[in-house]
Amino acid sequence: MAHIKIIILVTIVAVALFTGCLEEGVPTSTKLPKIPELTEFFNPNITEQTLPYSKASGSQVCLVNYKNATDPTWNELMSFLEKDDTDEQPYIEGSFVCADFAEMLHNNAEASGIKAAFVGVDFVVGEGHALNAFNTTDRGQVYVDCTGEGFHPPVSPSRISQETDSYREYHHFDYSSDKIAYVVDGKEYGSISIDKATSPEYWFYEDYNQKWDAYDRELEAYNSDIEEYNKAVEAYERDVDAYERAVGGRTHISDPEEYERLNKLYNDLKARENKLDIRVNELDARRERLDEWQEELGYYCWEPLGVVTNVDIYW
């Protein structure tokens, strides 16, 4: 019994002491500070994935994946790419390179609810390249390369009736760097601007490339014929001036020999004029066909990066 009494006594004293502390430490007029709400730092719907690829800064590529991201349709993907500004970033060696572009586009797409992949490509010759992939619900897997200006500028055939080289770089041309890429192991890496690409299949790229080659040949031939036509017009105008000087404003030629000579010159000039009229009509028709062709193909194209030897895809 004595043992039990001691325990009870100690308990009572402890409670009394604790109660006394509360009374002395917290006056009735003072409010307790509000406890801040806990912030959730972990989001189960978002995961990060570090890849064995380095960005310009030297840090590794980090993909941010969203659990609710889904595969888009082709049109949904095109709409996203048109609004996304990743391709507007300049490519700067040592500051922002292809891996940075691919990481940025991937994370922007996932944040927009579109499931995306990071793709690493190796070539037979030269350094590798980074781009993205999307699994569209209506046209299958689509490769997208949005590497911006400064990396691989487009080239354009000489403009119609301009005396320029067959190709020239369009550094000043207002173009979009959003491209559909065509990636097949053992074949050249090709790309087409998104406003001209209607299929992700490699045969489409090959067909598009053949059309560009045919267009370029026809354009060079047209420009050559335009040059010849312009020379013929200049020669015709010189001969017309010579004829007019010989006539001297006269409306009647009394000398039969002179009349015959001038009349022959006149008839020759009229025949040449008719031929030039026919020729310019033919050239105008060819120009219209070239304009239609260029509307289909675009004003510029992208040269291949190299032959692909390896493709790694990270979803």
Segments of the chain scoring below 50 in pLDDT: 1-29, 36, 38-40, 158-172
pLDDT for the residue numbered 35? 53
Angle subtended by helix axes 256-297 and 202-247, to nearest 10: 160
pLDDT for the residue numbered 152? 76
**pLDDT tens-digit readout, 124-164:** 999 999 999 999 999 999 999 999 887 877 776 544 334 44
Beta bridge partners of 54: 60
pLDDT for the residue numbered 95? 94
If DSSP states are collapsed to H, E and C, what string results for 158-206? CCCCCCCCCEEECCCCCCCCCEEEECCCCCECEEEECCCCCCCCHHHHH
pLDDT for the residue numbered 146? 95
Residue 146 · residue 116 · CB < 8 Å = no
Reported CATH class of domain 46-196+301-314: alpha beta
Which residues in 99-118 are b (16+ Cβ under 10 Å) and which e? bbbbbbbbbbbbeeebbbbb
Question: Rounded distance, CA 152 to CA 177, Å?
Answer: 9
φ and ψ at residue 163, rounded to 5 degrees: -85, 85
Spatial CA neighbour of 181 closest among 117, 110, 112: 117
Question: Rounded distance, CA 191 to CA 178, Å?
Answer: 9
Contacts of 139 (CB under 8 A, 6+ apart): 74, 199, 200
pLDDT for the residue numbered 211? 94
Residue 125 in 3-state DSSP?
A: coil
pLDDT for the residue numbered 223? 93
pLDDT for the residue numbered 253? 87
pLDDT for the residue numbered 154? 76
- Residue 6 structure tokens: 């001691």
**pLDDT tens-digit readout, 50-88:** 999 999 999 999 999 999 999 999 999 999 999 999 999
Amino acid at 215: Y
Question: Rounded distance, CA 247 to CA 257, Å?
Answer: 13
Beta bridge partners of 203: none
| DSSP-H helix ranges across the chain | 2-25, 74-83, 98-111, 202-247, 256-297
In 10 A of CB 134, how many CB atoms?
25
